[in-house]
Chains A and B, each alone.
Chain A
Amino acid sequence: MALLEVEDLHTYFKTRAGEVHAVDGVSFSLERGKTLGIVGESGCGKSVTALSIMGLVPPPGRVVSGRALFEGQDLLQRKSRELEDIRGREIAMIFQDPMTSLNPTLTIGMQITETLRRHLKLTRDEARKRAVELLEEVRIPNAAQRLRDYPHRYSGGMRQRVMIAIALSCNPKLLIADEPTTALDVTVQAGVLALLRELREEHDMAMIMITHDMGVVAETSDEVIVMYAGQVVEQAGTFELFDSPEHPYTEALLAALPQIEGEDVRHSRLASIPGRPPDLISPPPACRFADRCVYASLEDSCTRVLPELRELRPGHFVRTAHPASERAAAPVGS
């Protein structure tokens, strides 16, 4: 049995202009101890997917339908009281902004022990001892003293380490990391990613890594989901995805990415993707990438009917009528 199985998740936001289909039919499964990367641009629904699983979708959003089976139990059917016992204990989450995820008026120690006492019912002394161990585990020097400090005494990278310590405090089976290194400098990011990798192995913890950065996905994930306009457009093992991307969107995204090595690109243009993602209030009943896709022509059925997510090769799923391996050499109308 998979650790987490998400089936046909739909999360909509009611607005005055209509209902925004932020997540529109997302399914995936995650095995114990594995890392799944969810990558996509802003507004593609990657964060809302995570919030839906955790029961944290802010109003006016709501999960309209779907299932999220965690160890066989549907999280979406749980009462909020029951979810409180799961969140932080079984499934932990870290967010993008370590500056605002910590309470500035409480010491770091108080914020770590809060979780321990809530979920594990430790005494004050036990919790304090455990907090020191946790800070040491995330490589914060002078842990015992630093427990007494307030968050403003910590740098951005250190705060994210504290968030990781809090997330790990109850030995969760799943860690959801939502853009955990986006606000950090590259050298700090490298340190935090290395730490996450080590801790994940030590604790045999599964992880969902949500990011816009293809590089971060390549570094951290066993398997990758590419999201576009509220849907999964491609899913494959990490090596498979980067070696032979099939969806025109994945290809375009990789081509648009400036690189630190390879061909000298100073005097050439970057491949860009024309247009913008569709309005998710009344999404077209067609492939959502069709009007930006260089391979789709008006006669194609994909401009009228939404292509299914189909398994092109074992473990490699794609939602397009024009996967790279089935395409004629010359793109249509590029």
Chain B
Amino acid sequence: MSDRAGTTAGRDGEPLLVVENLRKWFPVKKGLIIDRTVDHVRAVDDISFEIRSGETLGLVGESGSGKSTTGYCILRLLKPTGGSVRFLGRDVTGMRRSELHSLRRELQIVFQDPYASLNPRMTVGDIVAEPLVIHGIGNRRSRRRNAERLLEVVGFNAEFINRYPHEFSGGQRQRIGVARALALNPRLIVCDEPVSALDVSIQAQILNLLKDLQQEFNLAYLFIAHDLAVVRTMSDRIAVMRRGKIVETGDAEQVYTAPRHEYTKALLAAVPVPDPHKMLARREERRRLAASVEELV
């Protein structure tokens, strides 16, 4: 699995994922009998970025900024309005159903809510092995062996295979979601707010697991989250989204230590830090930035 590290991602050393001028506009409709499109919500409005093999891009922003929509467009869970998404050199935006099927062997997702994203009527083994069934990989016995292996990879005992999701806590369920995403041995996993429903101590366990798996399997992540501190611990590079646009991208440390865009500065200043000594200075900074962000509107 890990021998992939040496191979280049796409043709001519092209990054694993290239997103160019991606747009997703949702129509706003009016009229009872004849629908008229009166306007559009520009959820994602002309954004571009790349992700290289084995790398994490952190996509950070507030609610409604378009970060999850971006993730869904890349996986083609939503059809983009415009622009292009190239994965391994192939254009995702125009793919037919059968092509999408093979795309998703390489491109997986971990969802936010570990309670809603696992079918309560399936055993953990069946949940983890389901991608293998859908893609017709192996037989019943080999899939079971695979499921056991995947459960061990995310830190469970293989004997858990016959249990049901309700027997697990939120953090454990999220591990199951991660195991399912790994089943097809993907190259890129879109992590959509994977720890925002979890307590701090459990959150740290999942983040560490994601880091370990990345090293072991040379995974690339698009790590979507609203929590700036969480994104910082995970990401090589950062893209800050606001109202459908990327306002700033850069190396993670550069964005956090020397943000260039006023909005990024305001976002960082707004985070409550667990250090009462810094409180006064941060309040001052917030007041200063609040005015300049108003002007950005």
Contact = CB atoms under 8 A, between A and B. Distances in A.
B200 A41 contact: yes
B208 A270 contact: yes
Contacts of B275: 218, 242
Interface stretch (A20-28, A163-171, A256-264, A307-315): A256-264
Interface in A161-206: 185-190, 193-194
Given A253-B200, A264-B253, A266-B233, A187 B266 contact: yes
A48 B271 CA distance: 27
Interface stretch (B17-25, B67-75, B81-89, B223-231): B223-231
Nearest to A267: B211
Interface stretch (A64-72, A73-81, A208-216): A208-216
A272 interface: yes
B62 to A, nearest CB: 4
B226 A41 contact: no
Contacts of B267: 186-187
A256 B272 contact: no
B273 A261 contact: yes
Majority secondary structure of chain B interface residues (helix, strand, loop or mixed): helix
A206 B256 CA distance: 36
B117 interface: no
Interface residues of B, number: 44
Contacts of B226: 185-186
Contact of B272 (A42, A215, A242, A265): A215
A209 to B, nearest CB: 11
A270 B272 CA distance: 19
B271 A260 contact: yes
Contacts of B90: none
B63 A185 contact: yes
Interface stretch (B92-100, B121-129, B175-183, B276-284): B276-284
Cβ-closest 10 pairs across A and B: A215-B272, A272-B204, A273-B201, A258-B229, A214-B274, A185-B62, A190-B270, A41-B199, A256-B204, A270-B204
Interface of A: 41-42, 185-190, 193-194, 212-219, 238-239, 242, 252-254, 256-261, 264-266, 269-274, 276
